[in-house]
Amino acid sequence: MSVLVIGGGAAGMMAALFAAREGERVFLLEKNEKLGKKLYITGKGRCNLTNTAETEAFLGKVFRNPRFLRSALASFDNTAMMSLLEDAGLPLKTERGGRVFPQSDTASDVTRTLEKLLRAAGVGVLLNTEAVSLIIKEKRIRGVITRQNGRIAARPADKVILAMGGLSYPSTGSTGDGFRLAKNAGHTVTETLPSLVPFNASFSEPVRAAGLTPGGLSGLTLKNVSLKLTAGGKKRYEEQGELMFTHFGITGPLVLSASAFAGDCVLKGEPMELSVDLKPALTEDQLDQRLIRDQKEAGRTALSTMLGGYLPRALVPVILAQAGLDGAEKAARLSREERSALIRALRGLIMTDVSLRGFPEAVITRGGVSVREVDPRTMESKLVRGLYLAGEMLDLDAATGGYNLQIAWSTGAAAGRAAGQKEKNMEEEKREERKNRHIAIDGPGSSGKSTIAKLVAKETGLIYVDTGAMFRGMAIHFLRQGLDASDEAGITAACADADVTIAYEDGVQQVYLNGENVTPYLREEKTGQMASASSVYAPVREKMKGLQQKLAREKDVVMDGRDIGTVILPDAYLKIYLTASAEVRAERRYRELLEKGQEADLETIRKELEERDWRDMHREIAPLRQAEDAVRIDSSQMTVEEVKEAVLQLYGREK
């Protein structure tokens, strides 16, 4: 069978190429209309595709989990990447700091070259194709549910490589889908934060009081300045370089680098402060001497005019305000204390209210799928066989300079190579010979189980067993015996001579109790109350299990509930575990209640759902859990029609 690679960015293209070179049939699925949308904007459109740093220096630039990278980098490093592109006809050049670019200074040339290699290797590229859910059975990947031009398809595969990027620059397609899919497969996703990102910041109080803001300096670039980040009384970062003021704060290479060290402060909730040394090349003494000299020469010149020789004009009022000085004062009259205040401001222009800008402006996502759950040699998940992860999805991030793309190339190559290799001595996985064609749908409350079960029954001709209606049929039996809901012993005894079954007449469900059609009484208030109260008794559930199993022996059925795949029909032909995030389920329930004209509060519903999930999952008798061989469908991002289509595809549509 084939290898599916999800995500046509740097890591995905590399993974697909290496898997195909192993001789496997490979499909690369990308939700955008073209491959490598993010690559086009890398390196300001020039694509700084790697860095020539030696391994140790390279790993020194990786902020999180550098050790995890060692093996992938050893088998496909920066020189291997450069050779791959140059051999394919793309000349490269190396610039300051070991940064490697295509000679053409055109990022799209990198994508074009990779596309050429993918074609030559026979990779099938499916554009406008979005992965919506993974198909996992018995802790093994079986395929992916995709949406293409609004149509849902279940695509079987032995191996699936997730290379779906992080959350940064979502306009390029990296919208965090990969994290959702990985979480659903059981993976841990560490806390994510924007990184290599500008800062929101204001000036300190005296400067603000003078009505001055970074926005007022928007566009002003400072070269050869030093930027210091402090938090919790400690220095977190200090480097020299270039920065720029913007309408929200500051940006520029120095600022992006500093942001990688801000994440820890953000996570700890420590307020951050930035300080810009405008004269890092001078010692304090040298600066003092220079000011004294200039003061002497200044004569009647205003202080602000003199400072024009030290700073860009626009910055002069900012420095004066921070130092508490009047720019109209004559420079020559500056006292020693005033000169000290001026030096302090020049050596440390303070910026407060510092915070990171958001993912839309971040070069990289900090955090991701925990590398503890991934094999560093093969990038295979340690939780799901045949599932691989690569690129920015992983909890790896590095400095600017071509390092992040090399992480994508190296992890992509490792995943592709491993996924493309045939598993030796692996027993042929046969689809189990199952004698029935039942569909069991389990899942938490409000996940849409009964809606889907009914729709699927209609399409397949299977009998939909409404377990709620069966409990109500039993309740009628107890009421007719004159039993009270609290009489557990009486109810237990009455179970013995109750036979409830379901039939369809003209397509309408009928419930029979000991041969009598009791459908008209099912909706009575007292029936509902008795059904709900009696269903908590273990003997009633046991009896119901027997009746449901009897029904399933007679006909192929679709049944939904919380223990259908695990307890009632453990050998069902197809088991589905239908779920959705608590937020989405609460939203659905909320809309349902409003449509019925009932009052509802979204937050209360969400809390109730979460409490119910917990109770269902921890109850003693038949707790809610996913059967090992059930296919998990996360319907958070799917419509009812799409879920139905996915189930039908998994079932194979045959009656």
Provide the binding-site residues for ligand FAD, judged by CB under 6 A: 6-12, 29-32, 37-38, 41-43, 47-48, 130-131, 163-165, 168-169, 173-174, 177-178, 363-364, 391-392, 402-405, 408
Kindly state the smallest distance separating residue 181's Cβ from ligand FAD, in Å: 7
Q: Please, which residue, 186 or 253, has the CB nearer to ligand FAD?
A: 253
Token couple for 252: 């520029």
Q: Please, which residue, 262 or 393, has the CB nearer to ligand FAD?
A: 393
Question: Please, are residues 606 and 586 in contact by the beta-carbon 8 Å criterion?
Answer: yes
Q: Please, which residue, 137 or 155, has the CB nearer to ligand FAD?
A: 155
Rounded Cα gap, residues 556 and 420, in angstroms:
39
Here the contacts of 615-624 (C-beta below 8 Å, separation 24 or greater) are: 616/444, 616/445, 616/562, 621/538, 621/541, 622/541, 622/562, 622/563, 622/566, 622/567, 623/562, 623/563, 624/442, 624/443, 624/444, 624/562, 624/563
Backbone angles phi, psi at 374, to 5 degrees: -130, 140
Kindly state the smallest distance separating residue 364's Cβ from ligand FAD, in Å: 5
Kindly state the smallest distance separating residue 223's Cβ from ligand FAD, in Å: 21
Q: Please, which residue, 11 or 650, has the CB nearer to ligand FAD?
A: 11
Token couple for 164: 């779906």
Kindly state the smallest distance separating residue 256's Cβ from ligand FAD, in Å: 10
Backbone angles phi, psi at 604, to 5 degrees: -65, -40
DSSP state of 394: B
Residue 528 neighbours by CB under 8 Å, 6+ apart? 472, 475
320: Cα separation from own chain's centroid: 46
Token couple for 253: 């290479």
Q: Please, which residue, 165 or 444, has the CB nearer to ligand FAD?
A: 165
Token couple for 300: 């009647």
Q: Please, which residue, 8 or 473, has the CB nearer to ligand FAD?
A: 8
Kindly state the smallest distance separating residue 382's Cβ from ligand FAD, in Å: 20
Instruction: Using the Cα atoms of residue 359, residue 364, residue 366 and residue 369 in order, give the sign of their dihedral.
Output: positive
Rounded Cα gap, residues 241 and 71, in angstroms:
33
Kindly state the smallest distance separating residue 631's Cβ from ligand FAD, in Å: 18
Kindly state the smallest distance separating residue 250's Cβ from ligand FAD, in Å: 17
Kindly state the smallest distance separating residue 279's Cβ from ligand FAD, in Å: 31
- Candidates 422, 419, 420, 389; CA nearest to 407 is 389
Q: Please, which residue, 198 or 565, has the CB nearer to ligand FAD?
A: 198
User: What region, left, alpha or beta, does residue 91 occupy, with left being phi > 0 and alpha being psi -120 to 50 degrees?
Assistant: beta
Q: Please, which residue, 39 or 483, has the CB nearer to ligand FAD?
A: 39
Backbone angles phi, psi at 578, to 5 degrees: -95, 125
Instruction: Please give the single-letter amino acid code of residue 360.
Output: P
User: What region, left, alpha or beta, does residue 486 occupy, with left being phi > 0 and alpha being psi -120 to 50 degrees?
Assistant: alpha
3-state SS, one letter per residue, for 4-65: EEECCCHHHHHHHHHHHHCCCCEEEECCCCCCCCCHHHHHHHCCCCEECCCHHHHHHCEEEC
- Candidates 640, 651, 507, 511; CA nearest to 575 is 651
Q: Please, which residue, 16 or 321, has the CB nearer to ligand FAD?
A: 16
Kindly state the smallest distance separating residue 637's Cβ from ligand FAD, in Å: 9
Residue 545 neighbours by CB under 8 Å, 6+ apart? 567, 568
Rounded Cα gap, residues 70 and 377, in angstroms:
9
Kindly state the smallest distance separating residue 158's Cβ from ligand FAD, in Å: 19
Kindly state the smallest distance separating residue 518's Cβ from ligand FAD, in Å: 48
Residue 561, strand partner residues: 442
Kindly state the smallest distance separating residue 167's Cβ from ligand FAD, in Å: 9
Q: Please, which residue, 31 or 142, has the CB nearer to ligand FAD?
A: 31
Q: Please, which residue, 173 or 317, has the CB nearer to ligand FAD?
A: 173
Question: Please, are residues 470 and 511 in contact by the beta-carbon 8 Å criterion?
Answer: yes
Q: Please, which residue, 48 or 460, has the CB nearer to ligand FAD?
A: 48
Pairing label, strands 159-162, 26-29? unpaired
Rounded Cα gap, residues 543 and 565, in angstroms:
17
Q: Please, which residue, 253 or 490, has the CB nearer to ligand FAD?
A: 253
Rounded Cα gap, residues 94 and 541, in angstroms:
72
Q: Please, which residue, 334 or 418, has the CB nearer to ligand FAD?
A: 418
Kindly state the smallest distance separating residue 394's Cβ from ligand FAD, in Å: 8
Token couple for 2: 């084939």
Kindly state the smallest distance separating residue 284's Cβ from ligand FAD, in Å: 37
